Chains A and B, each alone.
Chain A
């Protein structure tokens, strides 16, 4: 049995060596000696069964260890392979068939195509998604929720995210929809998780009280340090938003006992030292945080370039070390992309199907048109139906479903294939006009985040 690159991922974080068995998802931490043995196995091209007797093995090793140690490592690797925990094959995947059922279980409800900020990187074109500034009516919103309850069939857990633009610019409708969602889900025997994504400007007083009382999950947008946030997230008049929204976010989180939210930022080429922004969030009292790289066309000055990757990787390294140090100090925080559960994570069918955009997950424009996800809203080529008639164009959804991770040539050979599940469809489309051609820069950052997350798990084991 030869070492196979497409079945494994061997990497080093600091002084720790880690070997991932891709198909099983099982992670092994290696001693320096074991790491060198695996490296020799990999580079020599020899069979595992012959590894211990390979000429040149002992001479190639610099780590401390006796002949017995080398024997133990080789025997251990052989035992893992025999147990399906190393170089595991997955013949089941060759014949795996995705369900052809259309079960929509999540909606992104664009209740406001308008915004009270003018964020420079906004994929929604500062809220309007390339169209007119508009608000969703209560009638349309109710129809969308009814569609979700019906289209989810036998699924018990369903989700809706109140999104925009800025959804709180349409709070009277949001409020009624939340109440309607609660009542209808109870009546229909569903568990409805309701989330709202907000920039925080209007998050105060009765609005805040209502969202907390109804336990609405919140995604709160802040980019970190004041100067970083205000450069990219100005108000309509150009003034910064940090001084207004930070007190709102602190009050919100405190009032809900520090739970059921994410403070989410976007970092750009203007703050390649984004670790400082995550640290600023944590030191400001938030312990559920997320920070994602901006996705922007190369002509934008804030867009990342390939040469930025080494610095961004260093930032993730620092962030991972900070994460571990805080946990060891008894002050843990959650960073969304490090939040990997190696023992209770999603099943392989979920990992194969990915985000479900286009068939399990749809976005609803203010006037009721259905799109594969929030990033396709406003693109008429991707309209799949509307809240009155439901899904009318199944071809689009089928096409998205068929663009699963195993259908993408690059992904089939990638060690991270069962963690990112083929990446974001919208990114693939926007950068390559091909749903099966992933966005390379996003892939590199995703892989780096995963290495950090796996290393963190190894430190906790």
Chain B
């Protein structure tokens, strides 16, 4: 939606990925720059990238 008052900024619907996702090929979250926190949301899906 993009109107004068409401602008939607992304399209990915997480709920739909519950049936399409789960291949497990993505990076493990703690294997990058993070070793003391758990930040999964900023990983990238290998299938989508």
Chain A contact residues, CB within 8 Å of chain B: 23-31, 33-34, 65, 69, 72-73, 76-77, 79-80, 84-85, 88, 90, 92-93, 96, 99, 103, 105-106, 108, 123, 155-157, 159, 161, 193, 195, 197, 217, 219, 262, 264, 266, 290, 292-295, 336-351, 354-357, 360-361, 373-375, 418-427, 442, 446, 449-450, 453, 457-458, 461
Contacts and interface: CB of A to CB of B under 8 A. Distances in A.
A25 B10 contact: yes
A139 to B, nearest CB: 24
A348 B19 CA distance: 9
Contacts of B37: 292-293, 295, 420, 423-424, 427, 442, 446
A455 to B, nearest CB: 10
A276 to B, nearest CB: 19
Interface of B: 1, 3-15, 17-22, 24-46, 48-49
Contacts of A92: 15, 18-19
Contacts of B1: 28, 76, 79-80, 85
Nearest to A18: B9
Contact of B15 (A34, A157, A348): A348
Given A26-B8, A341-B42, A347 B21 contact: yes
Given A24-B14, A157-B46, A106 B9 contact: no
Nearest to A156: B25
B33 A356 contact: no
Contacts of A375: 35-36
Nearest to A220: B33
A105 B25 CA distance: 8
A375 B42 CA distance: 21
A26 B18 contact: no
The 8 closest A-B pairs by CB, nearest first: A347-B21, A419-B41, A349-B22, A342-B10, A347-B17, A290-B33, A262-B33, A106-B28
A422 B49 CA distance: 25
A344 to B, nearest CB: 4
Nearest to B20: A347
B27 to A, nearest CB: 7
Contacts of B21: 346-350
Contacts of B24: 103, 105, 155, 350, 360
B45 A345 contact: yes
22 contacts: A25-B13, A27-B10, A29-B9, A34-B6, A76-B6, A80-B6, A80-B8, A99-B22, A106-B28, A336-B39, A343-B12, A344-B45, A345-B12, A348-B18, A349-B18, A350-B43, A355-B30, A419-B39, A420-B37, A422-B38, A446-B37, A449-B39
Contacts of B42: 336-341, 345, 419, 453
